[in-house]
Every structure is written in C-alpha cells, then in structure tokens.
Amino acid sequence: MTSINEMRNIAIIAHVDHGKTTLVDGMLKQSGIFRENQVVQERVMDSNDLEKERGITILAKNTSVRYQGYKINIVDTPGHSDFGGEVERVLKMVDGVLLLVDASEGPMPQTRFVLRKALELNLVPVVVVNKIDRPDSRINEVIDEIYELFFELGASEEQLEFPVVYAIARAGKSTLDLDVPGTDLKPLFETIINNFPAPKGDPEGPLQMLVNNTEYDNYIGRIAVGRISQGSIAGGMNVVVSDHEGKLKSYRIGRVYVYEGLERVEVPRASCGEIAVVSGLEDIKIGETITDKENPAPLPPITVDEPTLEMTFVVNDSPFAGQEGDHITSRKLRARLHKEMEKNVSLRVQDTESPDVWKVAGRGELHLSILIETMRREGYELQVSKPEVIYKKGPDGELLEPMEMLLVDIPEDKMGPVMEMLGNRKGEMVNMGPNGPGQLRLEFKVPARGLIGFRSQLLSETRGLAIMNHTFLGHEPFKGEIKRRYQGVLIAFESGEATFYGLNSVQDRGTLFVTPGTKVYEGMVVGEHVREQDIEVNICKKKQLTNHRASTAEATVKLEEARVMSLEEALEYLSDDELLEVTPQSLRIRKKFLDKNERARAKKQAAQASAV
C-alpha cells in the first residue's frame, strides 16, 4: 500500500473546453502507464459516447498516476454547471484543486461556480494557465482576472497565494517561467507534490469511508467509490453502513479495488487517504458512510444545490407508440428514472397521481436533455413537456425564481439586437467590455426561464458567431411574464404520409419540419406558422389524376429545406400545450390533445380559468 504521506488527491476543475481532459491525457502518458506501442485515443477520460460526440465531460471520473514514488489520484470533473452535482460530491474526495484557465478566454462563469464550491470546502488551489501558445493569449490579464475572481469568492490569504503553472496541454508541456519554454509536464508534477497536502486521517483508527459515487459492474454487481477518511478497508471485512437518516445496516465487504492509471486493480486492503472501490454492498447509495462495526462513526452526508428546472415525463401514447422502441411501459420507465436518481444526486423524480406521469427536476436544460438522450439510446420511448423553472416562496410569502449569470461573446455590430432579445427576457446587463478586435463580452443577470430557447435564437441572430455561458446565481423576486414563442404552428390535419404535393401547397404558410414520405398523425406539429395562430394543414393530400397533360412548369417546383431540430432545440421550442415524443429513431413535436375538438375544449376551459 502507498503511504499516506506519499499520496495526493486532486480534482481538475475548469470551464468547458479549457483543456482539462486533454491535460489528464498528457499526465497519464508522461507518467508511463501506457506501453510504448499502445494506441491511446484522445481525451481518453471521456469514455461515454455522448461525451465523445459533444466534446464535453458529463460524468466525473477517477484515475491515478505515479511520479517519483508518489501516487496522485486525479478526478476529472465536468465544467458545465448543469452537472454541478457531479462536481460537488467529488470535491469531498480531494484535498486540492487544479484550476485550469484558458490563456485567452480567462475565468468563465462555470469556473466561478466550481471554484466557489472548492474554496468553501477550504481546498488548496493551484492555477494552470493553459493554451499559452494561442496567438490571442493574454496571460498577464488572465492572471489578474483570476486574482479578482479569488477575491470576489472570499478566498483566504493562504488560498490567494496560489502557485501558477503555464501549460500547453495538447503538446504535453508546462513551465513555471514564461521565459523558459517547457518541454514536458515535470514542472506540473512537482508543483502538485510540493503544494498539495497529503491526506489527513488516522490509518489505525476505526473505519470511515464516505460513498461519493456508485456504479454497476456486470461481473461483481453494485460497487461504491469513495475516499477512506480513517482506518482501512479489506475484502471480507464486516462493516455497517449509515444511511441519510442515521440508521445502521450490517454488510460484508466483497472485493476492494484502487485506481492505477485507467484500471481498477484489486488489492487485499486499502488504507486511509486512498480513493477506494468496494463491492458487496448491494443497495448502498451516494452520501452514505461505510464505517467500523464496533465503533460506528458516520460522516456528514453529501448535500448538493437544489434543481432549478422541471419537466413532465409521460408514457408514449401517440399513434406510433411501440413502433421504434423496446421499453415503452410505465413500469420500465419508472424503474429507469429511479435508477438514474440513485447515481445522479442533483436529479429529482417525483411520482404523480397518474401512474404514467412523473415530474423530473434537474439543474438545467443540458442536464435533463442528456438524461433523455441516454434513455432513447437505451431503447426507451417517452414523451416530455416543455421545461419549467422551479419557483420558491420567500420569507414574506413572495414568489422567488432562479436567476442565472449569463456571459455572451458577440460581434460588436450585434450588440443592439442581442440586448433587445435579453431585454424582452427580463435580462439586466451588469457588465460590458471588449473581448478582442471587433468583439464584445456582455454580462447579464437573467431569469432561468428567460434562457429557455435563447441559445438557438442567439445563434440565428449572430449567424453562429456568438458564444454563451451561464451559471446559477440564486433566487430573486419574480420578474414578470416572459413571452417565449411568437409564432404559431402547422398541425397535421389527418394521419398518413406527407406528400410532395401536400407539402408544396402549404410551404408558403411557414417553415416545414417534415419531408415527403414522413409518416405523420393527426395533431402532430409539422411546421411553424408565419403568424401567431396555430392552423391545421393537410400535407398528406395527393394530386388527383386527370386526362389533361400536366404543365411542364410544375416540374421546376422545389420544396424549401425542412428544419431539423436537435433534442435541445425541440425542448426549447415546445409550448405549454405541446409534448415532445422521443423514440430511439425520431423526435416528434405534438399537441397534448391530438383531436381538434379536444384542443378547442381545453383552450376554452383554460380561458375561463384565467378569467376567474
């Protein structure tokens, strides 16, 4: 076993795309864990399919490297605030954080979110300024911004004396002096060993291990991941687990593993300070404590910030239900959602009066859309409502809503339209400044509901040149009504197959979402109307044959290209009276009531209720 004094437990935190997973790649390669002839993929820590596709980290992961007799346990954390639950629980496993900041972009909103959590836990920081080879790098200004950020977040004097390492993670180079070009990551390794403390705890005391993560292994069943705060744990050992209510339950440990590189290696015993993986605890949950049977000493459970966004998940009852997915029953959907809640600590699933409907709350649109995308890839069919923010009641009974800090980088000539868009969404500008030639950086305080659907509108307005990032700020008094969608929709008049003739006859009414040959059903949304009202259209009608020769001019008629939405865009687009049908192969927007008469009745009842 590695001595507690020769161990370092660190987390790498940074904003999205600042290079933390790439830096871990370099540390793994230079520590010698791979064979010389071994083929290693880029961003080796992003093992999830969605992570590879999107180029982001979604799940926190553990690895370790060895350097000159020291073992460095590394946790690669997500940068999106939507996955803040992942960040908050893994920070409990480490003694220090490696704060990675882009040499051009500087500290971003989500850097602020994770760093605040780390400073509150009194973790030791080390700053890595990455991508110093960028032609637009502004290293000195970025370091000043980092100091300002630490001051704003209330860092202690010790935390303000952080060392700075300059790096090019992609090339595997680092240096402590900008005048001395780096050749490898040796300066980074030495800074980690010299500045981060060894884990604290008594290796001879009674066992204490807080469970920070749970996984499922096909061979050994459910496994728990956590840091041993005191004592040691061994295979076959009798322990008790303290749950969130403080109740104790006896277990027998199966196998014990530790991380060596990217592998889990079985060991007879793991000691204080080590990040260990144990099996044999079938129904263990995140936040519970594995402790000594004779002298139980539970640790405080993990707490995370509350969810800010809620959606309704419904069993798929459309006319096409069961045609594309394998799992469609309410029993399977409920089991899958509750299973997700066990490992996704910032997710909330609430049963309703209907056995086919659940309220699912998360930290943001991305958090919930990743869950939906994962489920559809697993063969599930379901329907979801538009995202709604979760309100709170203030001490005086006033209505409070979640607020976000929004940061947008835009071309200077787009400042007027962007400010108007955010003004309509109750945004309040708090800062503005240049961000390179012809670029502006605007900072806004916006209600969370004002950001639903904003990304696609912003990208359309700026022709894809804008970059936006946001993080949760807190709750403030309700800011007033926000109108989300200004256009009505085109609704399929009947079930059938969309024809070229039918689509051509209605394409001047708006933008189409379907192409010829697409199967549609009555009540399905097939396009966006140019006006505010919803209208029904018949896109399945065929041209009647006659004895007259067709005009050759008809051959030149072309359909406008259909608008194809991603999952996030479809969720943003939804209105109050619509659902998104999600299957492994298709995304279909539909009205909650497919029948025209039922829709009219529901609309009338809603108008009467609002009048009362």
More confident: 173 or 61: 173
Last residue of a domain, one of 160, 195, 230: 195
Q: Is 132 a known ligand-binding residue?
A: yes
pLDDT for 81 equals 52
Distance CA 11, CA 128 (A): 13
Residue range 40-57: mean pLDDT, rounded:
46
**Domain presence at residue 494:** no
229 and 188, same domain (yes or no): no
Lowest mean pLDDT among 34-48, 450-464, 541-555: 34-48
pLDDT digits (tens, 9 = 90+) for 294-333: 888 888 877 666 788 899 999 999 999 989 989 999 999 9
The answer to whether the annotation marks 374 as part of a ligand binding site is no
Structure tokens at 461: 């307005």
Amino acid 38: pLDDT: 43
The range of the structural domain enclosing residue 113 comes to 4-195
Q: What is the pLDDT of residue 41?
A: 42
Last residue of a domain, one of 249, 270, 292: 292
Whether residue 519 lies inside any domain: the answer is no
Phi and psi angles of residue 536, each rounded to the nearest 5 degrees, phi first: -95, 140
Q: Tell me: do 53 and 76 sit in the same domain.
A: yes
Strands, sheet with 535-537, edge to edge from the N-terminal-most edge strand: 510-512, 525-529, 489-492, 535-537
Domain assignment of residue 310, yes or no: no
**Helices and strands: H and E segment counts in the chain:** 14, 35
Residue predicted with more confidence, 37 or 273: 273
Domain check: are 130 and 261 in the same one?
Answer: no
- The CATH number of the domain holding residue 72 is 3.40.50.300
Within 10 angstroms of residue 351's Cβ, the number of other Cβ atoms is: 12
* Distance in angstroms (rounded) separating the CA atoms of residues 370 and 374: 6
pTM over 0.75: no
Tokens linked to 604:
């009338």
pLDDT at 112: 73
Q: pLDDT for 252-268, tens place per residue?
A: 999 998 888 777 888 99
Beta-bridged to residue 541, according to DSSP, are none
18 known ligand binder: yes
User: 17 labelled as ligand-binding?
Assistant: yes
**Distance in angstroms (rounded) separating the CA atoms of residues 102 and 427:** 27
- 183 and 214 belong to one structural domain: no
- The radius of gyration of the chain's CA atoms, rounded to the nearest angstrom, is 27
Residues 6+ apart with CB under 8 A from 389: 308, 309, 310, 401, 402, 447, 448, 449
Assigned domain for 62 exists: yes
Mean pLDDT of 492-504: 91
pLDDT digits (tens, 9 = 90+) for 278-288: 988 877 887 88
Q: What's the pLDDT score for residue 86?
A: 61
Are 70 and 180 contained in the same domain?
yes
Whether 566 maps to a domain, the answer reads no
Closest CA to 439 of 469, 471, 472, 462: 462
Residues 536-575: tens digit of each pLDDT: 999 998 877 666 655 544 555 678 888 888 888 888 888 8
Q: At what angle do helices 139-152 and 109-120 cross, to 10 degrees?
A: 50
pLDDT at 14: 77
Q: What is the pLDDT of residues 3-16, one digit of tens each?
A: 788 889 998 887 76
pLDDT band per the 50, 70, 90 thresholds, residue 33: low
pLDDT of residue 536: 92
In this structure, the answer to whether residues 47 and 163 fall within a common structural domain is: yes
* Proportion of the chain above pLDDT 70, given as a percent: 88
Q: Are residues 232 and 175 in the same domain?
A: no
Domain count for the chain: 3
Q: Is there a contact between 190 and 214 (Cβ–Cβ < 8 Å)?
A: no
Residue 310 identity = E
Q: Above 70 in pLDDT, residue 176?
A: yes
Q: Clarify whether residues 181 and 215 are in a common domain.
A: no
Q: Are residues 17 and 153 in the same domain?
A: yes
pLDDT at 55 over 50: no
Residue 20 within any structural domain of the chain? yes
Confidence (pLDDT) at 470: 77
Q: Encoding tokens for residue 76? A: 């690669």
303 annotated among ligand-binding-site residues: no
State how far the Cα of 287 lies from the Cα of 195, in Å rounded to an integer: 29
Query: To the nearest whole percent, how much of the chain has pLDDT over 90?
Result: 24
Q: Check the annotation: does 289 bind a ligand.
A: no
**What is the pLDDT confidence band of residue 61, given thresholds at 50, 70 and 90?**
low
pLDDT at 110 over 70: no
CATH assignment of the domain containing 406: 3.30.70.240
**Residue 101 pLDDT more than 60?**
yes
Q: What rounded mean pLDDT belongs to the chain?
A: 83
Residue 245 maps to which CATH number?
2.40.30.10
Whether 580 is in a domain gets the answer: no
Model confidence at 88, pLDDT cuts 50, 70, 90, reads low
CA angle 76, 571, 390 (to 5 degrees): 75
Here the tokens at position 111 are 């850097």
Helical (H) or strand (E) element with 368: helix 365-377
The mean pLDDT value for 591-602 works out to 90
Any idea which of 127-136, 365-374, 381-390 has the lowest mean pLDDT? 365-374
Average pLDDT on 180-188 reads 89
Specify the pLDDT at position 83.
52
Does residue 588 have a pLDDT over 80?
A: yes
The encoded tokens of residue 333 equal 């959907």
Where is the domain boundary, 128, 161, 195? 195
pLDDT value of position 25: 82
In a domain? residue 349: no
Q: How confident is the model at residue 356 (pLDDT cuts 50, 70, 90)?
A: very high
User: What pLDDT, in 10s, does the model give residues 506-526?
Assistant: 988 999 999 999 999 999 999
55 and 144 assigned to the same domain = yes
What is d(CA 382, CA 356) in angstroms, rounded to the nearest whole number? 10
Measured distance CA(284)–CA(139) in Å, rounded: 46
Residue type, 540: C
Q: What is the DSSP string of 205-256?
A: S--EEEEEEEEEETTTEEEEEEEEEESEEETT-EEEEE-TT--EEEEE---E
237 plus 285 within the same structural domain: yes
556 is in an annotated binding site: no
pLDDT tens-digit series, residues 404-445: 888 888 888 888 889 998 998 899 998 888 876 788 888 899
* Same domain assignment for residues 67 and 183: yes
209-244 pLDDT, tens digit each: 988 877 777 777 778 888 899 889 998 899 998 887
285 labelled ligand-binding: no
Residue 225 CA to residue 284 CA, distance in Å, equals 10
